[in-house]
């Protein structure tokens, strides 16, 4: 492979009770649900099908991300504090409709987060992550295991868009997105790959 052919792979953590309820989960260290664990195990095949080349694996320190990496078969993951989710400040644990009762029309990408991170701060953090991993892409693939909103910011910044354009890249729990190059231009190769769940033992066929 030439340098431009190595890929940056994003893996969102599996389902948690708060993600299932669509509650903004930043600092809160929620564990995976049983379904979230099954999703993470299912992601193993998606990653295997990508035929990763000696990947560098970085993960958010939150247990939902670390455990997802383990269940997905990503060995040797290195914790990177920059991969934590957007800090939602006073909106931690709230849903978007609950926040919109206070701030009509609010979204994480277009509104303010009192007590939390601004879009500019999150964008700088994403740029710092990319600056760290881009040199690695000259020799191998890189996998980043993290969170929904921050992964969407990473996609936007990879594509050289403003942070607000992360709103256009929804990511499901345990979904995989592959970033790479086309004619030396950064691009999204595949997005939001959701692996089918393995049938449970004893389940009706």
Q: Which residues are catalytic?
A: 13, 85
Instruction: Count the neighbouring beta carbons within 10 Å of the beta carbon of residue 131.
Output: 9
Written in H, E and C, the secondary structure of 108-156 is: CCCCCCCCCCCHHHHHHHHHHHHHHHHHHHHCCCEEEEECHHHHHHHHH
Distances (CA, A) of 41 to 21, 71, 177, 193: 22, 5, 16, 14
CA dihedral for 97, 102, 106, 107, sign (positive or negative): negative
Backbone angles phi, psi at 156, to 5 degrees: -60, -45
Asked whether 165 and 156 are in contact (CB, 8 A), the reply is yes
Instruction: Classify residue 102 by burial, with Cβ atoms within 10 Å: 0-12, 13-18, 19+.
Output: exposed
């Amino acid at each position: 492979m030439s340098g431009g052919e190595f890929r940056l792979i994003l893996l969102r953590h599996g389902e948690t009770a708060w993600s299932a309820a669509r509650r903004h989960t930043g600092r809160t260290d929620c564990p995976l649900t049983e379904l979230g664990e099954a999703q993470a195990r299912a992601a193993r095949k998606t990653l295997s099908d990508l035929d990763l080349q000696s990947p560098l694996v970085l993960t958010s320190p939150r247990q939902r991300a670390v455990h997802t990496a383990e269940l997905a078969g990503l060995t040797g993951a290195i914790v990177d504090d920059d991969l934590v989710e957007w800090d939602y400040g006073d909106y931690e644990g709230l849903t978007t409709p609950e926040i919109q009762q206070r701030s009509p029309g609010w979204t994480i990408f277009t509104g303010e987060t009192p007590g939390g991170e601004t879009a500019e701060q999150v964008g700088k953090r994403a740029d710092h992550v990319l600056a760290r991993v881009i040199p690695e892409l000259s020799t191998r693939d890189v996998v980043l295991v993290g969170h929904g909103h921050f992964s969407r910011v990473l996609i936007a910044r990879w594509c050289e868009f403003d942070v607000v354009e992360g709103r256009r890249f929804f990511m499901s729990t345990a979904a995989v997105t592959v970033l790479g190059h086309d004619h030396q231009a950064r691009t999204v190769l595949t997005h939001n790959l959701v692996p089918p769940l393995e049938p449970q033992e004893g389940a009706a066929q």
